[in-house]
Structure 1
Amino acid sequence: MAVFDTSFHQTMPPTSFLYSIPYEYYERHKIRKYGFHGTSHRYVMSRAAELMGRPAENFRLISCHIGNGVSVTAIRYGESYDTSMGLTPLAGVTMGTRSGNLDPAVIPYLEQLEGLESDEVMRVLNHHSGLLGISGVSNDIRDLLKLSKEGHHRSQLAIELFVSKLHQYIGLYMARLNGTDGIIFTAGVGENSPEIRELICQGLEYAGVFLDAYANWLGKEDRIISTAYSPVKVMVIPTDEEIVMARDAYQIVITDQTRSLGILETAG
């Protein structure tokens, strides 16, 4: 059985998944935004519903899967409404080694200036950009936080750029969802870096995000890290993509067995 990482995002409306290119390219080649990390976003949505004490269909969430790969998803009443990654995982925010969104004209311009082929430019954008490209030293946020405290300017710049791109998507999805009830942090950095969570939440007070410093810095379990009076609940939820895939596989098996049993009973 195959569980597709893109399946959770199939509920996105055309205004979220279409690119502003000739429509026939979508019709002929299905060139569109597909999104990734779907199993992760789906799992943390279900856990957020448990933490908030009401069904996922009753609220709006912004899920931030922050690891070496990063994606942000707007979840509207239990369904993916928009997401930052696109046709490929290269799109969206700044990541460990991926550039995220940029002006597409950069690609032929680099080919001209550096004498590169298109596949070489794509290799640069996928494997030598992002935090690594800006800092020049590492794609590991732990290294960059340490180096920035020691005065390494480009490490500090990489962190600031990283946070600013996440701010852009969180603000965008607050607008698209007409507000949000909760923000989720998950994956390696999202789960384990209180510094990054704090930096991301700074400046979002206008939108009703008030972080509890004590809860943010202490604890490893699923938990709410916003203050009791924060209108927007901020949560840390370790992801578990494997359990989502196992449950989907189990459901398919049970459904197939039930269907087969029904056919046999009808035939009998």
Structure 2
Amino acid sequence: VERRVEHRHLRPDLPQVAVFDTAFHTTMPEAAARYAIDVETADAHRIRRYGFHGTSHAYVSRKTAELLGKTPEEVNVIVLHLGNGASASAVAGGRCVETSMGLTPLEGLVMGTRSGDIDPAVTFHLKRVAGMSADEIDVLLNKRSGLVGLCGDNDMRVIRRRIDEGDERAALAFDIYIHRLKKYIGAYTAVLGRVDAVAFTAGVGENAAPVREAAIAGLEELGMAVDASLNSVRSPQPRLISPEYARVAVAVVPTDEELEIAEQTFALVSRGDADSPVHSDN
């Protein structure tokens, strides 16, 4: 028989801290957090938009403010966390007011294997017409969609190479990916009212210059632009890639979710309760 011993029983003197990936998004107003479905049903089953990648969005929005020489309270930032999983957030004065992922990480941007936003009636159609089960649809939308569903690859480096070789499926997949990004940048500009910076982060956001260039292209009327020479630089340091004349700063800010968790843990434990287990969603 397996014997389970909780850490708090082994070290009752050691504070236990839980840092949730959704915590940064708890500041969203109800208008952003609720789905437009029957309130009683939603409340009974806790159906609402929780968001994910919260530690990354918190860290990057704060580091972006530092890059601009300001405090988080002074700036409004659109954070684009682009990895195999991808999400966007609108951060006003250091507080998240909107994010693209919802009840689950499936909602929002086009991702490596996830569809992102989709008409929910597609699931009914697949059940009725294709005879697919709920589990099969789950696998389809989470593991066989997104970039891999569109072109068979979810590695942006491979997709860009295929585009250079004239692959039309890869080109279409890239265009769909960028189209969704632009929609969210535009929408979050409207939500924030004033945008001081757009920050790219995570594996694709930090390393794929063509993605950053394409996502910002055509948004000059929103005050956004990318300098080609600055955008081509590879660096592990936070940096601006927008020209000096741009009204909105465009930045590349490498994320560090582990450091964010450590800093939040240290801040919580430092406030007291060091003699008893601590639980936090902050």
Q: What TM-score range do you get, normalising by the shorter chain?
A: over 0.9
Query: What's the offset of the Cα at 1:247?
Result: 1.2
Query: What's the offset of the Cα at 1:258?
Result: 6.5
Match of 1:212 in 2: 227
- Find the aligned partners of 1:247 and 1:93 in 2 and give their Cα distance: 28
Question: SS of 2:200's equivalent?
Answer: strand
Match of 1:19 in 2: 35
Match of 1:97 in 2: 113
CA deviation vs aligned residue, 1:11-57 (integer Å, no higher than 9, x gap):
00011000000111232222100000000010011111111011111
- Find the aligned partners of 2:127 and 2:160 in 1 and give their Cα distance: 33
Q: Check 1:98–1:258 CA distance in 2 against 1; reply closer, same or farther (3 A cut).
A: closer
**Aligned residues between the structures:** 259
- Quick check: 1:108–1:118 contact (8 Å CA) kept in 2? no
CA deviation vs aligned residue, 1:54-93 (integer Å, no higher than 9, x gap):
1111111100000000000000111000000000000001
**Where in structure 2 are there 5+ consecutive unaligned residues?**
1-16, 277-282
Q: Check 1:151–1:80 CA distance in 2 against 1; reply closer, same or farther (3 A cut).
A: same
- Find the aligned partners of 1:77 and 1:252 in 2 and give their Cα distance: 21
1:62 pairs with 73, 78, 84, which one? 78
- Find the aligned partners of 1:47 and 1:5 in 2 and give their Cα distance: 18
Query: What's the offset of the Cα at 1:2?
Result: 1.6
Match of 2:205 in 1: 190
Identity percentage of aligned residues: 45
For the pair 1:165 / 2:180, whether they are aligned, the reply is yes
Q: Between the two structures, name the one with larger relative contact order (CA 8 Å, sep ≥ 6).
A: 2
Query: What's the offset of the Cα at 1:119?
Result: 1.2
Q: Which amino acid aligns with 1:199?
A: A
Q: Check 1:123–1:258 CA distance in 2 against 1; reply closer, same or farther (3 A cut).
A: closer
1:119 pairs with 101, 121, 135, which one? 135
1:110 pairs with 104, 107, 126, which one? 126
Judging by fraction of residues, say which structure has more helix.
Answer: 1
Question: SS of 1:256's equivalent?
Answer: coil
Q: Root-mean-square deviation (CA), in Å?
A: 1.2
Match of 2:240 in 1: 224
Query: What's the offset of the Cα at 1:257?
Result: 4.1
